[in-house]
Amino acid sequence: MERAWQHPLFVVTCALILLIVVFAIVNGQPFLSAANVRNMFLAGSIMLVLAVGVTYVIITAGFDLSVGSVLVFSGVVSMIVMQRVGGDGWTTALLGLGVAIASGLLLGWINGLLVAYADLNPIIVTLGMFGAALGLAQVFTGGQDLSGMPTAMSQFGVGRLLGIPWVVLVAAIVAIIAAIALQATAFGRHTYAIGSNKEAAVRAGIPVKRHLAVIYGLSGLLAGLAGWLSLSVYGTTNISGHSLDALTAATAAILGGASLFGGVGTIAGTALGNAIPVVLASGLVIAGLQSFWQQVVTGAVLVGALYLDRLRRLRSLRRSSSASS
């Protein structure tokens, strides 16, 4: 039986508490201010929407490096359409939302078709999509960030319900629905089965290729939603600001207990793991650390998460070996 202190979520919770305490001591009031806490929740909510899709992909023993660029591309296309249509009301804002989601779904679906039906390596496929989506976004904008969204959308980005930002509520709803689907539906069971043993899943009659295409499409769809949410919060496409999003989302999933070997992971774990890079980024910014050092720290956290994943895998194999003998 696994001891409580060996459980990955226990370790992540302790690490999160330690980070908060350290940054509270080092940075003092600015880190604990209401404005900074709100900013962390907003940034964390957008990243959580991305990480939910990435978690599904990782559970199938896949990987999606394209979500950051898909977010940017979806946001750019959404902004262009909203500017062409014009208007400051919800009709234009919802049209932009639909365009962002459809754009993300299309790119994710292309990833899924190439991974599932062409049997290509998911890392290579999504790395190619990373470059293609970002390149198209730059072509469409001339490399310049776009701004000027509908008033209704900007009000949504800063709006609250009972003191809770709308963006946070949307992310929470996405996470809850995804968690229920993963834990309590045939779709979720098929997702785990494919990640655990793809050949066995095929023999069991699970439509593996179609399911994988849907999973990558879901990841793209959520990246499109995250792109629209990002526009509503920050008011600009921020083309160059999402290069590490895929790695950050993967870090959140792996810290939360997902395994690159597949078949393992929960949305609750991802939500908890997501807090680590968010708190790190905020604390380092307030401490005055330059942006490239933040990238170094993000990379180091990812490597550490991968190492923990390997340790969990080895421990699981040892338990299985002991049980069989």
The pLDDT tens digits for 187-233 are 999 999 999 999 999 999 999 999 999 999 999 999 999 999 999 99
Q: What is the pLDDT of residue 319?
A: 64
* Residue 86 φ/ψ region, left for φ over 0, alpha for ψ in the -120 to 50 degree band, beta for the rest: left
Q: Rg for the chain (alpha carbons), in Å? A: 20
What are the residues whose beta carbons fall under 8 Å from the beta carbon of 237, sequence distance 6 or more? 72, 75, 76, 79, 137, 141, 145, 146, 147, 231
Q: What is the pLDDT of residue 165?
A: 93
pLDDT tens, 23-57?
888 877 788 888 888 999 999 999 999 999 999 99
Q: What is the pLDDT of residue 13?
A: 85
Q: What is the pLDDT of residue 320?
A: 60
CA distance 217 to 220: 5
Give the predicted TM-score (pTM) of the model.
0.90
- Average pLDDT per run of 10 along the chain, which is 325 residues long? 59 85 83 87 94 96 94 95 89 94 96 95 95 94 86 90 92 96 95 93 93 96 96 89 88 88 91 90 80 76 76 68 58
Q: Which two tokens stand for residue 92?
A: 């234009």
Q: What is the pLDDT of residue 1?
A: 46
